[in-house]
């Protein structure tokens, strides 16, 4: 017998409906039911706004674990479970710049992890001038061996996203990877607008964490920020109020309709810890901020529900904020079955209360 959920509001397409319930059956959405057609069937009333489970394409860790070359299928599953409890029912585990051996090992582990959406390799082919918290000693140009490894990995993974910088990857390499189905993002890059445009024309379709670790926009040189806002490029946004000022976020949203939310989450997500270690360096958790001991930002202490709430507080329409965490990133990875509430799709939901705080999560029809 199917379960019928009746929330105060439900995100359906580009509107918050107050007139629908959703029936679940076998881990999937059986139907959307207008209130007037429910009749005497039992329902579970929900206080708040029901939206699709969040889709987070930049997750460096969670549940006390960091993504690394030592991650096992069990570790990756534990990180996924930690983020599911926080509302992100689909994630892309993200490996920041590391050694070739670590990259190879993580790809092998990912290919053996049941239910994993894929991987995001944020480096090592970046620009050391925009390293951020990445170890500059590990940044290196993409080799032919790297290229073939990534093409092989994409054959085994549903989604493979790679962040590169023009300083360490060629236009031809980007073109070949794109033709093989790899999603190419530009990030940690100190490039000019015209260079970014050339890489976009070769297939790069994403900008990694807009505004952060990239050439900024000026009056005579728009840089990568300007390219991300001017060209038809998707751009991830860390909406914690630390990585990006609310005013900058508002201006970006007024310019582009392809901005989606990411958390850039680290090991502390879903874990009560005040520090962790990243490649031998201590990362401190203080005042909702993660930093190296020298103060350099090192990922974010942020959940997707908090990012949605922040955007709404900064003046973004709730429907748009929710879609930036659900439908838009799902669209980017070509997953029409995610990020939406519609008949036949997986029953993945997040329930947000009147203050837009997370109150419940369902994955494959099961309440977590």
Catalytic center residues: 264
Helix 144-156 and helix 171-179: axis angle, to 10°? 20
Q: What is the DSSP letter of 36?
A: G
Strand pairing category for 61-62 and 65-66 = antiparallel
Q: Are 169 and 163 in contact (CB under 8 A)?
A: no
Q: What is the DSSP letter of 215?
A: P
Helix 100-111 and helix 73-85: axis angle, to 10°? 70
Residue 88, number of CB atoms within 10 A of its CB: 30
Q: What's the rounded Cα separation, in Å, for the pair 257 and 270?
A: 30
Q: Which residue has 């993974």 as its token pair? A: 157
Conformation bin of residue 188: beta by default, left when phi > 0, alpha when psi is -120 to 50: left
Q: What is the DSSP letter of 197?
A: H
Cis before 124 (ω within 30): yes
């Amino acid at each position: 017998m199917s379960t019928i959920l009746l929330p105060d509001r439900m995100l359906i397409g580009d509107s918050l409906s107050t007139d629908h319930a959703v029936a679940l059956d076998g881990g999937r959405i059986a139907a959307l039911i207008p209130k007037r057609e429910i009749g005497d069937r039992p329902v579970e009333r929900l206080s708040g706004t029901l939206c699709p489970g969040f889709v987070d394409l930049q997750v460096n860790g969670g549940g006390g674990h960091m993504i690394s070359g030592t991650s096992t299928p069990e570790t990756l599953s534990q990180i996924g479970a930690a983020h599911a409890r926080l509302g992100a029912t689909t994630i892309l585990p993200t490996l920041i710049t590391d050694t070739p051996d670590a990259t190879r090992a993580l790809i092998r582990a990912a290919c053996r992890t049941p239910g994993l959406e894929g991987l995001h390799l944020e480096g090592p082919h970046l620009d050391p001038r925009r390293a951020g918290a990445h170890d500059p000693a590990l940044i290196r140009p993409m080799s032919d061996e790297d290229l073939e490894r990534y093409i092989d990995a994409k054959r085994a993974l549903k989604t493979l996203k790679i962040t590169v910088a023009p300083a360490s990857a060629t236009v031809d390499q980007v073109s070949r990877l794109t033709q093989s189905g790899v999603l190419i993002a530009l990030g940690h890059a100190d490039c000019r607008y015209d260079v970014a445009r050339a890489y976009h024309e070769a297939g790069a379709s994403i900008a990694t964490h807009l505004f952060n670790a990239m050439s900024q926009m000026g009056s005579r040189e728009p840089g990568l920020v300007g390219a991300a806002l001017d060209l038809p490029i998707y751009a991830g946004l860390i909406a914690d109020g630390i990585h990006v000022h609310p005013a900058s976020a508002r201006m970006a949203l007024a310019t582009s309709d392809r901005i989606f939310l990411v958390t850039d989450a680290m090991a502390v997500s879903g874990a009560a810890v005040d520090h962790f270690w990243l490649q031998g360096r201590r990362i401190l958790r203080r005042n909702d901020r993660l930093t190296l001991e020298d103060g350099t930002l090192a990922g974010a202490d942020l959940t997707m529900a908090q990012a949605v709430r922040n955007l709404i507080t900064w003046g973004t329409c709730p429907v748009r904020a929710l879609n930036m965490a659900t439908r838009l990133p799902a669209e980017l990875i070509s997953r029409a079955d995610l990020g939406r509430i519609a008949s036949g799709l997986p029953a993945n939901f997040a329930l947000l209360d009147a203050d837009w705080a997370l109150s419940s999560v369902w994955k494959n029809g099961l309440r977590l």
